[in-house]
Structures are given as C-alpha cells and as structure tokens.
A = this chain, B = another copy of it.
Amino acid sequence: MSKIENKKREILKYDRVGLENVMKRRFFVVPSFQIYNGIAGLYDFGPTGCALKNNIEQYWREHFILEENLLEISGTCITPEIVLKTSGHVDKFTDYAVKDIKNGQCFRADKLIKEWIEIEKKKKKISEERIKELDTLYIKVDNFDENEIDETIEKYKICSPDTGNELSKSYKFNLMFETQIGPTGGCRGFLRPETAQSHFINFKYLLDFNNNRIPFGSASIGLGFRNEIAPRSGLLRVREFTMAEIEYFVDPLKKEHNKFNLLKDLKLPLWSAKSQFNGESINTNITLGEAVEKKIIDNETLGYFLGKTYLFLIGIGIKKDGIRFRQHTPKEMAHYASDCWDAEIETSYGWVEVAGHADRTCYDLSRHSESTGIELVASRLLKETKVIKGIKIVLNKGIIFKNFNDKDKAKKLCEKLDKISEEDKEKLMVDFETNGKIEVDINGEIIILDKEKNEIKMERFEQNVHEEKYSPNVIEPSFGIGRIVYCVMEHCFKVRENDSRRTYFDFPPSIAPYKASILPLFENEKFLDYVEPIRKILVQNGISYKIDKVDSIGRRYARTDEIGIPFGITIDDITLKDNTVTLREIDTMKQIRVPINEIGTIIKNVYNRIEKWEDIIKKYPLFEFTRNGN
C-alpha cells in the first residue's frame, strides 16, 4: 500500500466516530429493538436512512432495469427446503463455528482465529519469524476446512476470548434461517439467502415473456437473509438485508453484448486473480475493451455489467479512487460460480465487497431441471439443418395393461421404456428386428413384449432439425444495498472547514434523503402562511421536503446540513414583500433569491441532472446571509 493510501485510511478512520454519531442521532440507521437491548446484525432505517436507501434503489432501478430493459420480478422470502437443497444451499451455505465448551457462546471459527492473530501480533517481544508465520496463517484461514481449523486451534492453544475456556471442535453451521410452513410440521422452509432462485424457478415464464428470445435479463430488489454466527461491523455484516440482483441469461456460445461498444473505452480499476497471486497491484490503465480482448475479463456481457456497476457507484456518490474490481481466487468462489468479480469500495473498515458479478454458468437451471424433470432450456437456430437418426418405441399401453395381470409391473415397464437411453434402444432394436420381441428387466424379472401380440412397435426414423436446445448461462450482477448505503454515507461525509463540529453530506441531489428544507425565519403567522403554498409546489414536483420551524436559522441550516438536504428554502421579511425566497445550496453554502413559483423547477432540474447549481447561481441575485438572519 502506498503512503497516500495509508494517509487516506487514517482520515476515514478518524471520521467514523463522527459519522456514527450522526447516523444514530439523526435517525439514519439504528440497531433494531434497541429498547430491548437490540439483536446483533439487525438494523432499522429511520426517515433519513430509509429515504437514502429508497433513492439508491430507485437510481438502481433506472440505471439497470429501465435502461437495460430488464424484467423485474419479485419472489417470496419463504422458500421450501427442496428448492434450496437443489440449489446447493442446504449443504454448502455454511460457516464453521466453534463453541466455548463451558458457557456455550458461539464464534465464527475463521474470525476467531484472525482476531487471535491480531492480538498475538501486538504482544511485546514477538519475533520477526513468528510475525511472518502468523501473517501466512491469516491469509490461509479463509480457506480452511474443519480439520485445519481444529489443528490450528489445538496447535496455538486458542481459547474462548472472553472466558479463556477451552473451545469445542469446529462444526458446519448453516447460515439460513429455518422455519416451518403451515401447521403440520411437514414442510420445512428457509428464508432465502438470495433472490436469484426465484428467477431460475420462473425461467420458463421469463423466456416466454421475452418472446422466447435470448439474451435477456431479469432483476429483483428484495430481502435476503443470513443467520450470521456472531455479526459485528455494523451495517457491513447483517442478518437481514436488501439485495438487488440481475440474472442475465445468455447463450453460452454468444456472450457478446450488443451495447458493449458504448462502454468499451471505460477504464476500470481491475485486480485479476492472477495479479493478486503475483502480488501485482490494481491495473487502472486498461479499457474494458482491452480487458475483454486480453481475456482478463472473460466476455463482453460480464465486462458490460462491470462497466455499468462502475457508473452506478460513481452516480450515487462513491468516489472514483475508492472503487476497485477484484476477481475471486478459485478457492473463494461460491459453489455455483465459474468466475466472479467483486466491486469493492474502500471504507474505514478497509475494502468492502458491495457487488458480485458471477458467471453462474448453467449450474442452477441444470440442477432444477434434474430435480424436477422439467426442461429449463432455450433454443438456437442451427446454421445448417441437421439430420438426426433415432428409434421410436410405440407402446400399446391398452393392450399391455390388458395382457399383464400385475398392473404395477405393467406401469413400471412402461415407465422404464419411456426413459430408456438411445444406446439401450439400439440394443433392443436388434432383438426386435431379429425376433419381433424384446426383453426388459424389471427388478430382476425378465418381461417380454411381443410385436405379434400388438404390444409394441419399433421404428427407425430420420428427422431434419433446424434448432437445438441448450441450457442458458447466467451472468449475475448482485448488489448489497445496505452495504452500499453505508459506503455512500462514508464517502459523502464532510466536515466544514474551520469548524469541525459542523458536518454535512455532499450526496448527489438525486439520492439525498430530502431534497429541500422549508424554513420560515421565525415561527410566526406571517412567515408560516408561506409554508403551505411552497409545500404544495414541492409535492407537485415530487420533491421530498422537511419543514423546520424551531430554533435560529443558523442552527437550522446546521441541522439540515447534517442530514444532507441539498437545498434550503428560507421564508424571510423580503418574501412578505415580493414573493421571493432564498435558496441555499449545501456544499457551497451560497444563497440566491428566487421567485417562489420557480423553486420547483430549479430543484428538479438539478436532481434530474438537467442543470447544474454552478449555472443556476449565475441567473439569480446572490443573497448574503448574516448571523442575525437577514
């Protein structure tokens, strides 16, 4: 890490106390159920946090769903076991836990070992060699299996951190919340760990809705759940969270993207698995086009979405130099993925993953297809018509059931022949052509079907085929909205020069929780009369607002700055004379005088990115604000 990067981190760390103070005091985010002492990993969004989150979701919806013409769907959180068994989550969505053998307290094994290492390294008189050993362990522990964890705990005599008690052997803990659906106890369910499964389950409906054409993408904004063993790190590791996921279905032979050209010259900070392995730094000097050409990024579709994500993050206020795209190393890849690039944001906690871009191949569709027997495929036109040779078996079921007394046996016979492989068909065909009979083995008993008894016919056929079926691949950009909200707050948190107690957020206006404050100079009828007409203008323009009537105007500016309201509308003595108000912008703190009936358009144009504040300010008279409020 360079010196500049080090310095930047220091600044971020320093700011966190102030930020957390504002977050709680101004009701952005608070621990849930606080009057009951809270539950770790659950958070409530207050009016400011909720609006910020809604606006980021709306930005995402416009940036991805509307612009990319994706099919938005909404599935349920409650999911029956069979679905998540098929998807692999029942078996593989786990972390390793260890228990304090006396008081039963649980720990996530990898975190426990890492924290032990951090404490160990701070001890005096530690040798260089030992530090090296611990550093190596620190990196390896993420990929440890049960045995390696147990061996490590035993080797280093790691104890339960609070009590010093011995620790249990490690065991796999499934991270899904379990529940029962209905009253009989017969239907086990889970809260979904991702929205993705709904997309796969509904693939046939989606394909049909898209006139059976591929590629297309579906998208969902909804809740995901993860029963963390011992969550900490505030909003970054929570048990219930909003996800925004895209499943983009492509033909595995055609992973080009028809809008790739629009983004091909974009330079993204890429950190490939290979670079990580070689100890190389992030490559910031390569265009998306080059990265795809050089196969650093596997294909255009994956590259296109990496580009879209980059633009999304910048659009909502993340600073450019605090973003990187890191490719997963083979060992950290999820069970369903063949490749994955995380978008990571630098925060006071270090680099934080906020979005994954996984190539899930045809893993999920194939698994669900196997599990249900329902084809989840698309078809592509063949360049040349193919001739397919095959054998057709025609069973005369009426006669078979009549001829066989054991109906169950007859049923099994028919089922077996329905599912028989082409290879076995060929063998049977030889018998059929030779003897007019075939022999079928049903649970060890040989049963004969006879052409002469009209039980069976077999024919060879040739067929012209114009298209072939295939299982689409899925490129999945998946966003953790809660984490993004937190990162935006860190990146937009500012302190006024010369007054460290005064903080504000320079959110892009489109995502600011409230767009405007309405501030009558004093709580007095003559000023208050203007509140309602101004409020109406804002409502008509869809502009969210906060009315603040209490305290001096200076304190109110400080208060509205603190929650990042970009525009303050002040009703003062001049308003009473000429129907103008002052409009104050948060970052510059400059004020202009504008007629009341123009405020709606001005504010809307800024947050819709039609006009900039720098240009607006030139069109109206500047207004000097003095401490006595005039």
Q: Point out residues on A near B: beta carbons under 8 Å.
A: 26-27, 30, 32-36, 39-40, 42-47, 49-51, 53-54, 62, 66-67, 69, 71-80, 82-83, 97, 104-106, 173, 177-184, 186-187, 189, 191, 198, 201-202, 204-206, 208-209, 211, 218, 223, 225, 227-230, 239-240, 368, 371-372, 374, 376, 535, 539, 542, 544-545, 547-550
Among A35, A211, A225, A239, the one with the most B-chain Cβ atoms within 10 Å of its Cβ is A35
A46/B27 in contact, CB under 8 A: no
B39/A80 in contact, CB under 8 A: yes
Give the residue of B36, B106, B211 whose beta carbon is less than 8 angstroms from that of A550.
B211
When C-beta atoms are compared, the residue in chain B nearest to A173 turns out to be B183
In the complex, A321 Cα to B51 Cα: how many Å? 36
A32/B372 in contact, CB under 8 A: no
Write the nearest CB–CB distance from A129 to chain B, whole angstroms: 36
Q: How many copies does the complex hold?
A: 2
In the complex, A179 Cα to B62 Cα: how many Å? 36
In order of increasing CB-CB distance, the 9 nearest A-B pairs are A47-B71, A45-B74, A106-B183, A44-B75, A35-B372, A42-B76, A177-B179, A50-B74, A211-B550
Give the residue of B211, B230, B368, B545 whose beta carbon is less than 8 angstroms from that of A548.
B211
In the complex, A53 Cα to B72 Cα: how many Å? 11
A184/B368 in contact, CB under 8 A: no
A225/B78 in contact, CB under 8 A: yes
When C-beta atoms are compared, the residue in chain B nearest to A65 turns out to be B544
In the complex, A230 Cα to B183 Cα: how many Å? 8
When C-beta atoms are compared, the residue in chain B nearest to A177 turns out to be B179
CB neighbours of A548 from chain B (8 A):
211
**What are 27 A-B contacts defined by CB distance under 8 Å?**
A26-B209, A27-B202, A27-B205, A30-B205, A34-B202, A35-B201, A35-B368, A35-B372, A36-B80, A39-B78, A42-B76, A43-B76, A44-B198, A44-B202, A47-B72, A47-B206, A66-B539, A69-B535, A69-B547, A106-B182, A106-B184, A178-B180, A180-B227, A181-B227, A181-B239, A182-B229, A182-B230
Q: Report whether over half of chain A's contact residues are helix, strand or loop; otherwise say mixed.
A: mixed
When C-beta atoms are compared, the residue in chain B nearest to A178 turns out to be B179
A66-B542, A77-B77, A178-B179 given; name 13 further pairs at CB < 8 Å: A27-B205, A27-B209, A33-B83, A39-B78, A39-B181, A42-B76, A44-B198, A51-B72, A69-B547, A78-B239, A182-B227, A182-B229, A211-B549
Do A184 and B105 form a contact, CB below 8 Å, given A75-B44, A209-B46, A547-B69?
Answer: yes
B36/A83 in contact, CB under 8 A: yes
Among A32, A47, A542, A547, the one with the most B-chain Cβ atoms within 10 Å of its Cβ is A47
CB neighbours of A32 from chain B (8 A):
75-76, 198, 201
B33/A79 in contact, CB under 8 A: yes
B209/A47 in contact, CB under 8 A: yes
In the complex, A133 Cα to B458 Cα: how many Å? 66
CB neighbours of A187 from chain B (8 A):
39
CB neighbours of A82 from chain B (8 A):
36
CB neighbours of A542 from chain B (8 A):
62, 66
CB neighbours of A76 from chain B (8 A):
32, 42-44, 240
Do A227 and B69 form a contact, CB below 8 Å, given A45-B74, A76-B240, A80-B36?
Answer: no
In the complex, A299 Cα to B218 Cα: how many Å? 47
A240/B77 in contact, CB under 8 A: yes
CB neighbours of A181 from chain B (8 A):
39, 177, 227, 239
B205/A46 in contact, CB under 8 A: yes
Write the nearest CB–CB distance from A484 to chain B, whole angstroms: 15
In the complex, A40 Cα to B39 Cα: how many Å? 31
Write the nearest CB–CB distance from A263 to chain B, whole angstroms: 15
In the complex, A198 Cα to B38 Cα: how many Å? 12
In the complex, A206 Cα to B50 Cα: how many Å? 13
When C-beta atoms are compared, the residue in chain B nearest to A187 turns out to be B39
CB neighbours of A104 from chain B (8 A):
184, 186
CB neighbours of A42 from chain B (8 A):
76, 78
B44/A73 in contact, CB under 8 A: yes
CB neighbours of A206 from chain B (8 A):
27, 46-47
When C-beta atoms are compared, the residue in chain B nearest to A45 turns out to be B74
CB neighbours of A106 from chain B (8 A):
182-184
B78/A183 in contact, CB under 8 A: no
CB neighbours of A71 from chain B (8 A):
46-47
